[in-house]
Structure 1
Amino acid sequence: MPRIVDHDSRKKEIVNYAWQSIVNEGSKGASIRKIANLANMAPGQIRYYFPIHSELLKAVMDRVIYKVRKRIEVILMDENLLVTDRVLSSILAVIPLDAERYADMVVWMAFNYELHLQNDSVVEDDIELLIKKCIQLFRKENVLNENVDEKLLIARTYAIVDGIAMHILFKKGNIDNEIVEALIREEIYSWMK
């Protein structure tokens, strides 16, 4: 009797192996051979589900984006938290302060590196959109300092978040989570009346 294969679950399984391979080895782990080796599959089996390598990388990146968006959505919707805590926690959700967020950042960097090598445009991330949502939340709660230059605020906050994330990624363990939280807290307090 022929074996019935659930193709959707098989694709998800391959994406999970690809994610793990990239986490383990950075952009070098994004190769079909490395992923197949980790999954105990032949490269041809991987190519059956993802004939084009970039499709597999995009599926991995889509998984990361979905996970991070859900993480942020839960925080921003939690009305039991003070507005400042929602904003702080949602911004901290994109900074690699624990193993899961660190792994997501490694995958994000590897994906963008692969795109750069292929002369494709870098994937749009949602950090600017997140900062804008946080500003809107402050405005809605009437705590936003209306005299702030919003473009400058967005650029400055983005640079701080990006800089901290890169610092953590390249100098792992060199900055305490408490310091990161204090830096982000100080930044968001500068937005307030």
Structure 2
Amino acid sequence: MPKIVDHDARRRHIAEAVHRVIHGKGMDSVSLREVAAEAGMSMGAVQYYVTTKEQMLLLALERIGIWIGERVAVVAARQSTPLDVLRATMLELLPLDEERSYLNRIGLAFQASSVVSENQAVAMRMGYPVLLSFLAEQFRAAQTAGQLAAHLNADEEARILYAFAQGIVNATLVGHYTPEEVAALLDYHLARLRAG
């Protein structure tokens, strides 16, 4: 009987090997040979799915977006109010523990390389409106619930929250802020937006 191969699982396995290489050795170390070794696969098996470094990076970048989306969905589902969803989502995007730091270090590597790779820049831009829309939707729901000031522009406030997250990631990873200080800064900002 022929062996049944789960191609999506293989792609995910390769993407996660790319993540580990980036995390451990940096973006410049990503190669078919390095990723195959990290994945415990032959180069031929990896090349069945991706044939260039850029294809590997795009596969890995796509997986990061899926991973973040899944994590945000899980934490959002546990919350009881729109403001709690907004806060939990923001905290999930920040490097406040080992796993989120891992994701953010890889994300920063992709941000840097996307400046010189239009394909990566396009891929990164695809996730941006989805996240902004989700943040703005939660912001509007919190306004409707009387938790956040009604006069605020939800779309602009979503952009500000995204900019806050992006701006504080590197500073947190290098140790300028502790996880507790980051959470306190977010809470300070959200408190300024409350209704009444």
TM-score if structure 1 supplies the norm length?
0.82
- What is the root-mean-square deviation of aligned Cα atoms in Å? 2.5
Counterpart position of 1:33: 33
Q: What is residue 85 of structure 1 aligned with on the other side?
A: 84
Runs of 4+ in 1 over 6 A off after TM superposition: none
Q: Distance in 1 between matches of 2:169 and 2:67?
A: 17
Distance in 2 of aligned mates of 1:48 and 1:32: 11
Cα deviation per residue 1:116-157 (whole Å; 9 max; x = unaligned)?
333446212444334313312212312221222445533432
Identify unmatched segments of 5+ residues in structure 2: none
Which ranges in structure 1 are unaligned for 5 or more consecutive residues? Answer: none
- Paired residues in the alignment total 189
Equivalence for 2:187: 185
Cα distance change of structure 1 residues 145 and 14 upon mapping to structure 2, 3 Å threshold: same
Residue 69 of structure 1 is matched in structure 2 by 69
Aligned counterparts of 1:158 and 1:85: Cα–Cα separation in 2: 16
Separation in structure 1 between the aligned mates of residue 116 and residue 58 of structure 2, nearest angstrom:
15
- 1:51-110 alpha-carbon deviations (Å, 9 max, x no partner): 24333222222222112112222232335x344332211111001111111111222222
Give the match for residue 13 of structure 1: 13
Matches of 1:104 and 1:97 in 2, distance apart? 11
Distance 1:145 1:174 in 2: 31
1 CA distance for matches of 2:4 and 2:29? 26
Q: TM-score, normalised by structure 2?
A: 0.81
- Report the Cα distance in structure 2 between the residues aligned to 1:63 and 1:140, rounded to whole angstroms: 34
1:111 aligns with 2:110: yes
Q: State the shift of 1:50 in Å.
A: 0.9
CA–CA distance in structure 2, aligned partners of residues 140 and 120 of structure 1: 39
Over residues 10-69 of structure 1, what are the superposed CA-to-partner deviations in whole Å (9 max), with x where a residue is unaligned? 333222211211121231243223212323444343222212433322222222211211
Bigger shift: residues 91-100 or 9-18: 9-18
C-alpha distance in structure 2 between counterparts of 1:119 and 1:36, whole Å: 25
Q: Matches of 1:56 and 1:151 in 2, distance apart?
A: 34
Instruction: Give the distance between the partners of 1:12 and 1:88, measured in 2 at CA.
Output: 29
What SS does the aligned partner of 1:175 have?
Answer: coil
Aligned to 2:24: 24
Provide the C-alpha distance between the structure 2 equivalents of 1:16 and 1:68, rounded to a whole number of angstroms: 13
The 5 A counterparts of 1:46-57 are 46-57=46-57
1:128 and 2:132 are equivalent in the alignment: yes
1:3, distance to aligned residue in structure 2 (A): 7.3
Which residue does 1:159 correspond to in 2?
163
Answer yes or no: is the 8 Å Cα contact 1:23–1:29 preserved in 2.
no
Partner residue, 2:177: 175
Q: 1:45–1:121: structure 2 CA closer, same or farther, 3 Å change rule?
A: closer
Amino acid of the structure 1 residue aligned with 2:187: R
- Whichever residue aligns with residue 30 of structure 2, its letter is A
Aligned partners of 2:136 and 2:155 also within 8 Å: no
